[in-house]
Homo-oligomer: A and B are copies of this chain.
Amino acid sequence: MENDGFQRLDRKLVYKAHLFDLYEDTVQVPNGNVAKWDYIGHKGAAAVVPVLEDGRILMVNQFRNALDRMAIEVPAGGRESTDEPYIDCAKRELEEETGFKCEYEDMEFLLSLKTTVAFCNEQIEIYVVRNLKKSEQHLDEDEVIHIKAYEPSELRDLIFAGKIQDGKTIAAIMAYLNKYNV
């Protein structure tokens, strides 16, 4: 049941947005109906769980226009192209957003997630990174990012209190707590 009887007949670009392309797909569904579905093509992104020597986790806090408020998140950012390896994107975004850098051997793959399976192909690969070295933030000119380290238990409490709502961040932190039994 690879496609379970669904067959895509057409994919039509309907709008080129800044971060993604929006398509209208034509899909034949198993009952014979032909449906029109939204599809967003996204370059993908990477995120990191940066663990300090004392076990605290470095988080970023930034204004998110889509939420109309600040959001506490794991450091993350989009790939420059669909050819960029996710690990390179993760390494770059760590340094750009937090001003700390890491070596490849200190990056451990945690998990891969799809943000929005109903209408978008965005994939985020998440790495746990350690042995951070001080470097410098290199923000995009329209970015303002604040960094703060939290105890893992604080992050858990912030999630269950609804103070951290970002999906990739909840997945990353909860998976980190589980995998490393923190």
Contacts and interface: CB of A to CB of B under 8 A. Distances in A.
Interface string A11-53: 0001101111010110101110101111110000000000000
A159 interface: yes
Q: Which of A25, A156, A167 has the most chain B CB within a 10 Å cutoff?
A: A167
A29 B139 CA distance: 13
Interface string A68-105: 11110100001000000000000000000000000000
B63 A4 contact: yes
Given A160-B179, A177-B178, A120 B116 contact: yes
A83 to B, nearest CB: 19
Given A8-B65, A111-B160, A170-B111, A20 B1 contact: no
Q: Kindly state the interface size class of chain A when it binds its partner.
A: 35 or more
A154 interface: no
Contacts of A20: 38, 119
Contacts of A4: 62-63, 70, 144
Contacts of A141: 31, 33
A178 B170 CA distance: 12
Contact of A115 (B17, B37, B116): B116
Given A4-B144, A19-B119, 9 more contacts: A20-B38, A20-B119, A40-B66, A66-B119, A67-B121, A111-B160, A116-B120, A116-B167, A167-B167
Interface of A: 1-6, 8, 14-15, 17-20, 22, 24-25, 27, 29-31, 33, 35-40, 62-71, 73, 78, 111-124, 141-142, 144, 146, 156, 159-160, 162, 165-168, 170-171, 174-175, 177-179
